[in-house]
Amino acid sequence: MKLRGTAGGLNLLLEPLDTPDSVAAMLESRAALLTENVEIELGGAVSAVLLETVMGFVRNAGGVVTTVRPPREGNTPAPQRTEVIGRTMRAGTRREVSGNVIVLGDVNPGVELIAGGDVIVSGTIRGLVHAGSTGREDAIIWAGRIAAPQIRLAHAMARAPEGSTLDNLRHQETDVAEVVRLEGGQIVIEPYRA
């Protein structure tokens, strides 16, 4: 939480990692400031409980919440939860995750793995992987090897010709991990360099 004075009163920025308890402690020590007009700005996804806690503190101090502004474009995205899949994903499996995914194994043909964030696969990708499915253009796919007929990143898609795979189109050593990213709206697959 950040609190700053403005010409019209106070601006209170709530951030995704704020908790009702931590914010309550900070507001108790600054209750004298909350007697003015208060604009609440959400710096990302915050809980309704947190918002209600803040609004209650402002009311009890004699202040007025004049505005609650949603997150602005360009704010730092909230940290995403990472799900770890501790085995190879078998054909017929479909997994959709809102955050990041780490697969400790392969993604076999017939698998659909969709993530709102990054996808990291310790083995080979042979199935469909879609990172940044919520439109996150900074998301990446990292894998030991990419041998899928198709991969997706945000709103872009890379597809090999019918009957082929993406690794057949690249002439490079196969013992080097690969990373997929967007560059100018186009998917780029390149060897990973630490």
46 shares its domain with 89: no
The residue from 69, 100, 119 where one domain ends is: 69
pLDDT in tens, 59-115: 888 888 887 787 665 545 555 688 999 899 999 999 999 999 999 999 999 999 999
| Tokens standing for residue 98 | 């809102």
User: What H or E segment, with its residue span, contains residue 15?
Assistant: none
Q: Domain of 89?
A: 82-191
105 shares its domain with 34: no
pTM tops 0.85, yes or no: no
Within a domain: 153: yes
- Specify the number of domains making up the chain: 2
From CA 147, how far away is CA 129, in angstroms rounded? 11
151 shares its domain with 60: no
The residue from 39, 69, 99 where one domain ends is: 69
pLDDT of residue 77: 54
60 shares its domain with 90: no
121 shares its domain with 184: yes
54 shares its domain with 126: no
Within a domain: 26: yes
